[in-house]
Chains A and B, each alone.
Chain A
């Protein structure tokens, strides 16, 4: 209940400057999910979080809009946690393709996953 309200408040707050036509990126639930996962660990089921972020990325790409920095890498890390190494690696590579600045980080993450 408290988390629900929290998400609503944060959602409203961010939509003030985060979801409107004035932003470069489609933020969706990324920051709300970060907040919930940190504040009440276990309050968001990992599979549920994966589903939501995957949907969000898909919808954003279909609309030809921009996925924010780090969202694909965050999803990649969740996929790895659930044992989907292949899905994780391809999502990390998608982060690198969208943002070449992440190359060192992404290559290192993929390398460490193989060990």
Chain B
């Protein structure tokens, strides 16, 4: 029992892919994100870099700009409106298997005298269109720090000049788009990332791996429950 606790305490975190595997999508409709940041360019900065990582992971991704335009023409002028579109409509008009909903919580650069920090933080979740079941949820953050820590006076001067040059060259919030793209490319990675999709060459292999892992965890949980009861 103690050993089990210790092992459990040290293992890498496990993500429950049960609902995801049960409703494995082939196609994903990416809705424009709700933007909580003060940067108005965040919405489309994010939207213009999300297709590549999802498609390369093996999913069909509907053309983001065409969908955006279609929803606007159908009485949904804002991302907030679009994210309330009924799943029945999504099935009827788009035919998507899953919808990806996103909220941008941070997107921007804060400048100080000798350094600047650009951070992007997004929350995403994906819903199965047929059942409305949430199949995936993650938060992703990326930070780009342009400071170069150096205590010497020369270092400070060099840093000040570097920061100034970078600030001019960066066209104010320029870095955010690159950091946002980094966040998007990280959606596929990590212990809780997007599963490998049907167009990916490793799809069959990964499905088997994931299903085996899920079955092993379910078996373990059942055994633990039985042991509890036997006490």
A residues with CB within 8 A of B:
2, 5-6, 9-10, 13-14, 17-18, 23-25, 27, 30-31, 34-35, 37-39, 68-71, 73-74, 76-77, 99, 101-105, 108-109
Q: Is B47 an interface residue (CB 8 A)?
A: yes
Q: Is B151 an interface residue (CB 8 A)?
A: no
CB proximity of B95 to chain A, nearest CB, Å = 3
Q: Which of B13-21, B100-108, B174-182, B207-215 lines the interface with chain A? A: B174-182
Q: Is B193 an interface residue (CB 8 A)?
A: no
Which residue of chain B lies nearest to A2 when distances are taken between CB atoms in the complex? Answer: B171
Interface residues in B85-138 by Cβ distance below 8 A to A read 91-97
Residues B27 and A73 in contact, CB atoms below 8 Å apart: no
Q: Which residues of B are found within 8 Å of A35, using beta-carbon distances?
A: 44-45, 48-49, 177
Residues A70 and B95 in contact, CB atoms below 8 Å apart: no
Which residue of chain B lies nearest to A12 when distances are taken between CB atoms in the complex? Answer: B178
With A17-B185, A101-B27, A103-B95 known as contacts, the answer to whether A34 contacts B52 (CB < 8 A) is no
Q: Which residues of A are found within 8 Å of B92, using beta-carbon distances?
A: 104
Residues B60 and A102 in contact, CB atoms below 8 Å apart: yes
- A-B interface pairs (CB < 8 A), number: 109
Q: Which residues of B are found within 8 Å of A24, using beta-carbon distances?
A: 55-56, 58, 199-201
Residues A73 and B177 in contact, CB atoms below 8 Å apart: no
Cα separation A5 to B166 with both chains bound (whole Å): 13
8 Å CB contact of B60 from A18, A69, A77: A69
Cα separation A25 to B70 with both chains bound (whole Å): 25
8 Å CB contact of A34 from B41, B64, B171, B178: B64
Which residue of chain B lies nearest to A18 when distances are taken between CB atoms in the complex? Answer: B52
Main secondary structure on B side of the interface with A: helix
Which residue of chain A lies nearest to B91 when distances are taken between CB atoms in the complex? Answer: A104
CB proximity of A28 to chain B, nearest CB, Å = 11
With A6-B177, A39-B41, A69-B55 known as contacts, the answer to whether A105 contacts B65 (CB < 8 A) is no
Residues A70 and B61 in contact, CB atoms below 8 Å apart: yes
Which residue of chain A lies nearest to B92 when distances are taken between CB atoms in the complex? Answer: A104
Q: Is B217 an interface residue (CB 8 A)?
A: no
Which residue of chain B lies nearest to A32 when distances are taken between CB atoms in the complex? Answer: B48
Listed by A's residue number, 10 A-B pairs whose Cβ atoms lie within 8 Å are A14-B52, A17-B185, A18-B52, A23-B56, A30-B51, A31-B51, A34-B44, A34-B65, A70-B66, A74-B63
Residues B51 and A105 in contact, CB atoms below 8 Å apart: no
8 Å CB contact of A39 from B45, B55, B91: B45
Q: Is B69 an interface residue (CB 8 A)?
A: yes
Cα separation A27 to B52 with both chains bound (whole Å): 8
Which residue of chain A lies nearest to B43 when distances are taken between CB atoms in the complex? Answer: A38
Contacts A6-B177, A14-B52, A104-B92 known; list 12 others, CB within 8 Å.
A5-B169, A6-B171, A6-B174, A10-B177, A27-B52, A31-B52, A34-B44, A35-B45, A38-B65, A69-B63, A101-B95, A103-B95
Q: Is B219 an interface residue (CB 8 A)?
A: no
